[in-house]
Every structure is written in C-alpha cells, then in structure tokens.
C-alpha cells in the first residue's frame, strides 16, 4: 500500500484543478449563462432530461471522467432530492459497467495495466472479503473508475459490488448534490446564504468516513 498516497494525491490535484476551473469559468461567464432558459428546458422534459443525464453519466464513468464533477452537475440540474437519486443511479450503473468490462471483456488488459499500488485490492479481498471492499469504498478520494475496473478482476461478486457501492457512496452523493444545487442557486441569485451554508456540511459528510477509517487504523496501529 506504499504507493497509494501518490495515486490519491495525483487524483485529488486533478479533480481539484477541474473543479476550480469550472467554478472560475462559471463566475467569469455567469452573466452569459441563461439559468432561466436551462430551468425551462429541464421542466419541459421531465422524462427525457433525467434519462439523458443518467445515460451520459453512466458512459463517462468508464471513460475516467471525474464522477465528482458529474454529481455536482446532477445536483445543479435537478436539485438536491432528484439530483441525489439520479446521481446514485448513474454512479452505480457506471461502476457496474466498469466491473463487467473488466471481468468479462478486458480482464487480461486490466490485469496487465493495473497500477502496482492497486494490486493490494486482490490480496485484501482474499483476506477480508466484503469488509475490505466496504473500507475502500468509504475513502472519498479513491479514483472511482479505476477502482471499479480493479474490482472486476477480483473474486468479489457483481451483486456485492452493486450493494456495497450503493450503500457507501450514498452520503457523498447527497453531499455533492446539495453542493451542486447551492452553486446553481448562487448563480441564479436565489437564497445564496442559506444554501451555501450547506457546502461545509456537505464536505464534512464526504470526508467523515475517511477520517473515521484513518483514526481507526492509527489506533489499531
């Protein structure tokens, strides 16, 4: 596991750069964004818009597009409630696609190209089983697509992957959705103070499992 911190750092910097670039772009060009037009387009397509979003999200996950940005977009487009639901469905479907591709179609390629610092997953699952997968899923900065591909070449079953993924990512999905919704409302100039107060609370929810795992590991060590 010695190489894991480097992977997390690189992934974290990559996502942070994209996130701040997106925020800066929205701030700079906020006057040119037609929020009302977007809301009207979504309202006029109550069935098509969610299906399209879920399909795009599901396709982009196996292509290594940062799922955090997709979840923020889901919250911004559909609000905290429906955004959380659509984000949850999409993230689980995306994880399933990665898993199936790795297990049944590209297993040899995945085995050859898995970073050495992720090969500990196979050893951990052999020793700890589902509990190890549960622990890894709770880490917020784990590269989502890469982790799903790696799990595809382990002994874990598809149903276990789906159930553990759905359970463990739900708090983060809700937090991302609320943060995305707060950003949308801030751009629209609606109730910005109250909603933006949700951002630190959302970040606390995202990182709380990771901090709990770290404290537990340190105490055990």
How do residues 111-153 score in pLDDT, each as one tens digit? 676 666 566 676 777 677 777 777 778 776 677 888 888 888 8
- How far apart are the C-alpha atoms of 121 and 166, rounded to whole Å? 19
Rounded CA-CA distance 201/208 in Å is: 10
For the chain, counts of helices (H) and of strands (E): 11, 0
Please tell me the total number of residues recorded for the chain in this structure. 221
- Residue 206, CA distances (Å) to 42, 54, 178 in order: 28, 22, 12
Cβ contacts of residue 215 below 8 Å, gap of 6+? Answer: none
67 has a pLDDT exceeding 80: yes
Rounded to an integer, what distance in angstroms lies between the CA atom of residue 187 and that of residue 33?
9
Could you give the CA distance from residue 29 to residue 16 in angstroms, rounded to a whole number? 20
Give me the percent of the chain exceeding a pLDDT of 70: 59
Domain count, the chain: 1
- pLDDT > 60? residue 165: yes
| Contact by Cβ (8 Å): 118, 7 | yes
In three-state secondary structure terms, 155 is coil
Q: Extract the tokens encoding 73.
A: 């977009």
SS3 129: coil
At 1 the pLDDT is 40
Q: Is the pLDDT of residue 188 over 90?
A: no
Provide the pLDDT for residue 184.
Answer: 77
Distance CA 10, CA 21 (A): 16
Range with lowest mean pLDDT among 67-71, 97-101, 102-106: 102-106
Q: Which pair of tokens denotes residue 163?
A: 């159930």
| Whole-number pLDDT of residue 33 | 54
pLDDT digits (tens, 9 = 90+) for 195-206: 555 555 555 555
* Residue labelled with tokens 């984000």: 87
Domain that holds residue 196: 4-220
**Per-residue pLDDT at 162:** 93
């Amino acid at each position: 596991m010695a190489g894991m911190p480097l992977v997390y750092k690189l992934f974290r910097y990559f996502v942070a750069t994209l996130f701040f670039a997106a925020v800066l772009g929205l701030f700079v060009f906020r006057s040119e964004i037609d929020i009302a037009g977007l809301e009207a387009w979504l309202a006029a397509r109550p069935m098509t818009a969610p299906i399209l979003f879920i399909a795009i999200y599901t396709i982009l996950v196996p292509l290594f597009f940062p799922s955090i940005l997709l979840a923020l977009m889901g919250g911004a487009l559909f609000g905290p409630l429906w955004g959380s639901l659509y984000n949850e469905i999409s993230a689980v479907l995306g994880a399933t696609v990665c898993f199936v591709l790795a297990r049944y179609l590209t297993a040899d390629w995945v085995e050859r190209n898995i970073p050495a610092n992720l090969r500990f997953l196979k050893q951990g699952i052999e020793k700890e089983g589902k509990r190890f997968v549960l622990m890894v899923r709770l880490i917020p900065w784990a590269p989502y697509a890469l982790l799903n591909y790696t799990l595809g070449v382990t002994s874990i079953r598809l149903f276990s992957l789906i159930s553990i993924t759905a359970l463990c990512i739900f708090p983060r999905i809700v937090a991302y959705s609320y943060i995305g919704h707060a950003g949308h409302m801030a751009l629209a100039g609606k109730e910005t103070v109250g909603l933006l107060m949700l951002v630190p609370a959302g970040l606390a929810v995202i990182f709380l499992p990771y901090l709990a795992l770290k404290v537990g590991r340190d105490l055990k060590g």
